[in-house]
Copies of this chain bind each other. A is one copy, B any other.
Amino acid sequence: MGKDKGPTFNLKTPKGTKDWAGSDALLRDRIFTTISNVFKRHGGTALDTPVFELREILAGKYGEDSKLIYDLKDQGGEICSLRYDLTVPFARWLAMNTDVRNIKRYHIAKVYRRDQPAINKGRMREFYQCDFDIAGTFDAMVPDAEILRIVSEVFEELGWGGRYTIKLNHRKILDGVFAVCGVPEDKLRPISSAVDKLDKMPWADVRKEMVEQKSLDPEVADRIEKYVMNKGSRELLDSLLKDEALNANASAKAGLEEMALMMDYLEAFGVLDKISFDMSLARGLDYYTGVIYEVVTEGSAGVQADAPEAQKAEKSGKKGKSKQLSEDDDRSNDPTLGVGSVAAGGRYDNLVSMFQPKAQIPCVGISFGVDRIFSITKARIEREQKSDALRSSEVDAYVMAFGGKGFNGMLKERMEICQKLWSAGIKAEFSYKLKPKLPQQFKAAEQGAIPFGIILGEEELAAGKCRIKEMGLPDGHPEKEGVEVEISSLVPELQTRLAKKQQGGVSSLAQQLQGTSV
């Protein structure tokens, strides 16, 4: 360490980055834990790749967005860049490890993009991605269906039950629809990307873009409308399976058959009721080859458009966005996420062979937009004033002492009690002062939203006792002043109370958020 040269520098984090601290850091951490527990439940294994890759690994993978890649300075040696997503490093790993022919891998880590940051819109230059992918050659649609089961478990356990929809489509169906409607080969991608905008624009505007900007025959556009405006479930699939034109197209037929399998499996997994077969879902990235999906939550543009009022608003050209999401639904940070969506993915069978032409490893995966999930979760908690969920630590008990004149502070006694609690796995704190005042200690416990105080008094201690006080009980509650217990039974007594308190709803995010409105 050098000598103090004085603060001649800016005390700040680099543009587009931020520190995560306190209750935000803890809440985000709990979201990560919730998600990774689901990943592990499905046999996911962790993969951790370096934060930077050889520049040539990333080259040619992101098209125009390659200009957003952060490069490391050439300080001699290899030329490297910070990773832009977690998918390319995963494909690079699969291509390198030729003995691995199938894997379920998850990766929760930061990625880097030199985009114009818009912090109030949640667009950062350093942000987390949270990916689960299944690689390997299997029977059709089986891993694909498990991915959507994983999606539903994640959102159920985040406490979003009943407030999210998984939009599902299939690239082969979409390609078939466009072919059947008469879209020329060279217009397939532009028309597909116009259709993908239906989650934020009314059909009239999309049609205008197709016809005026992309010179599509208006009759072709009208035929497309009859297909892509459809949303539904099995009944939509059944009607498409009876559509003679579609069934005459090999791509559409294959897609519809896979979709039928997918729905069977989703039913077996108990998630079919979360699915909206949405023929307008096209997804931006070129590399998808099969099913594609996007998760939207109530209030985000995509779902709201499903409601008749919102569709009316859209048709009349009004923006159907809800206020509470306006902060970050404007433009996704992550090109794998559509507007207003909180998770997205699909099947990509040809990515690994970009690195290793001999290695054809089909993949299907999902990426959760953790920053957006965090913002929505936090907003919900704040609206519901579930302040327990916004603590900055998870401490169970604050050990305190008081006494009359000549009180010595009982520091060692407080330490010994803490030691007992820690040894039993109970999260505990105490004042670092020799002689703290009782109100100071209560204040510390209250500020930390710590549920229990353990109070040592001289007389009680001499009798081998102390007091467990549940914080925040209303006046007149029989235990308002706490309950006296033998120190020898403090641990089980406190554990019983903690378990009871947790059943009351402070343990999991789902418990905290279940039943809160969006």
Contacts and interface: CB of A to CB of B under 8 A. Distances in A.
Chain A interface size range: 35 or more
B149 A427 contact: no
B139 A433 contact: yes
Nearest to A56: B9
Interface string A111-142: 01010000000000010000000001011001
Contact of A26 (B45, B96, B136, B415): B45
A423 B268 CA distance: 13
A459 interface: no
Given A11-B96, A72-B72, A139-B433, A425 B50 contact: no
A199 B358 CA distance: 53
A36 B497 CA distance: 24
A460 interface: no
B138 A7 contact: no
Interface in A44-58: 44-54, 56-57
Contact of A45 (B59, B110, B353, B392): B392
B4 A432 contact: no
A300 to B, nearest CB: 26
B71 A1 contact: no
Contacts of A105: 21
A78 interface: yes
B416 A268 contact: yes
A25 B4 contact: no
Contacts of A145: 415
A20 B40 contact: no
A126 B56 contact: no
Q: How many copies does the complex hold?
A: 2
A405 interface: no
A406 interface: no
Interface in A80-100: 80, 82, 92-93, 95-97
Interface of chain A, helix or strand or loop or mixed? loop
A10 B153 CA distance: 39
Contacts of A12: 54, 96
Given A71-B73, A357-B6, A415-B265, A47 B20 contact: yes
Nearest to A434: B139
A412 B268 contact: yes
A411 B110 CA distance: 37
A82 B12 CA distance: 15
B48 A20 contact: yes
Given A20-B46, A47-B19, A10 B54 contact: yes
A63 B1 CA distance: 6
Given A20-B46, A71-B72, A138-B433, 14 more contacts: A2-B60, A9-B56, A14-B54, A17-B52, A21-B45, A40-B427, A51-B82, A51-B110, A138-B432, A142-B432, A142-B433, A264-B412, A265-B412, A268-B419
27 contacts: A1-B351, A2-B60, A3-B60, A9-B59, A11-B57, A11-B92, A12-B96, A13-B54, A14-B52, A14-B53, A19-B50, A19-B93, A20-B47, A20-B48, A21-B105, A29-B46, A41-B426, A45-B392, A70-B75, A73-B73, A73-B74, A75-B114, A139-B411, A142-B411, A142-B434, A269-B418, A270-B419
